[in-house]
Amino acid sequence: MRDFGNTSVIFDLDGTLVDSEPNYYEASRALLAEYAGREYTWADNEQYVGISSHETLARWRREYGIDASVAELIADLDRRYLELARAGTHVYPQMRKLVERLHEAGIPMAVASGSSRAAIEAILAGTGLDTWLTTLVSAEEVPRGKPAPDVFLAAAALLGAEPAECVVFEDAAPGAAAARAAGMRCVAVPYVAAHADDPAFADAELLFRGGQSEFTAQAALDVVMPSR
């Protein structure tokens, strides 16, 4: 039987711990309007859920012939996003409860996100989640973003944890695929309900098909530490 005493938990941030997608959508919409004169809809935005900011902006730069560098675009997107995020970012209540319970149980935790480190730190500080979540990895700090496993493996290394002992919480198919590639278990809470049937979620140890409306901290705890 598994020794769950060695379990560590790695959280995606955007769409998993916090509902940051509306703010990223508004920031992205304004950025594309300025640099490419392009309309950007919520349906367009859903295509990029779970993909790192760096990869998204590199794609836009190529597709729309934007002259600014990826670094300049990231700085601009972060500025726009953080202005919105500081005004208000919603933490999912059951996720906050889960983080608190894991902290109380002494379970090591990390955040591994496709956002920039500046954005991660600002969101965690602004929501108070930095009280419990202090180990962070941004996709900009590893060679490849999700669905590659790099960001999760880097988080596990910082925690001193073996990948097989890690449980990843994810809302997006690329993140679930990254967890599998890293050899980690996954609890999937799809941000976009229509994505629940994506093959990347098929191997999740627990899938909340209804997303955050269905997610409970207790059900997640039963996966992370069932013997406690």
Give the active site residues: 12
Q: Which residues, including other chains, have CB under 8 Å from residue 19's CB and lie 6 or more apart?
A: 89, 90, 92, 212
Q: Is the distance from CB of 190 to CB of 208 less than 8 angstroms?
A: yes
Do 113 and 120 contact (CB within 8 A), yes or no? yes
Structure tokens at 188: 């999937």
Residue 147, preceding bond cis, omega within 30 degrees? yes
Cβ neighbourhood burial of 103 (10 Å; 0-12, 13-18, 19+):
middle
